[in-house]
Amino acid sequence: MSKLDGIKVRVEDPTTPHWVTENTRPLLHEIHHALQRLLEAGEVKTIDLASLPMGPADEARLLEILGVGEVEACIDAMGKSVIRETRFPGVWFIEHFNTDDQPMGRLIDITFIPTLLLSQTEDMRQGLAQLSLYLQTDDAA
């Protein structure tokens, strides 16, 4: 028997702390304000969750409050990205992963549609060139 067995260890469930902080409230206010600005002046806003103080249960609580809306999109570019509209239209939750599927960032976008969902001009040009090439070779054949 090793000496370490003498140390009593009690495992508590880490996923559900029975206490909550009030850290989500100011953030919800910020989102509220941004949504107002979006409607009134068309101003878009992005909030980086990595820049905010968040306790263990805070983020889960925030996501619970934001809920799930009508749109969910998945992007596969340099790793996965999941873009979800929350139950408040105009408020989007975005999660980026790298090629190893490790989280790279979590953002809240307050916008009509997240820019990343739009096709990008550079990509479109490249696609156009490829399509032209295809048509050319097809015609030639």
State yes or no: residue 22 binds other proteins (CB under 8 A).
yes
Question: CA–CA distance from 96 to each of 5, 60, 125 (Å)?
Answer: 42, 17, 25
Cβ neighbourhood burial of 46 (10 Å; 0-12, 13-18, 19+): middle
**Cα angle, residue 14 at apex, residues 9 and 18 outer, rounded to 5°:** 110
The Cβ of residue 94 has, within 10 Å, a number of other Cβ atoms equal to 20
State yes or no: residue 123 binds other proteins (CB under 8 A).
yes
- Integer Cα distance of 47 and 94 in angstroms: 10
Return the residue of 3, 6, 9, 53 that touches other proteins, per CB under 8 A.
53
| Minimum gap (Å) between residue 124 Cβ and other proteins | 9
Q: Could you tell me which of 95, 113, 112 has the C-alpha nearest to residue 103?
A: 95
| Minimum gap (Å) between residue 10 Cβ and other proteins | 10
Q: Which stretch binds other proteins (CB under 8 A): 31-39, 41-49, 66-74, 131-139?
A: 41-49
Q: Which stretch binds other proteins (CB under 8 A): 27-35, 51-59, 66-74, 128-136?
A: 51-59
State yes or no: residue 102 binds other proteins (CB under 8 A).
yes
Residues that bind other proteins (CB under 8 A): 17, 19, 21-23, 46-48, 50-56, 58, 75, 77-79, 81, 96, 98-100, 102-105, 107, 115-116, 120-123
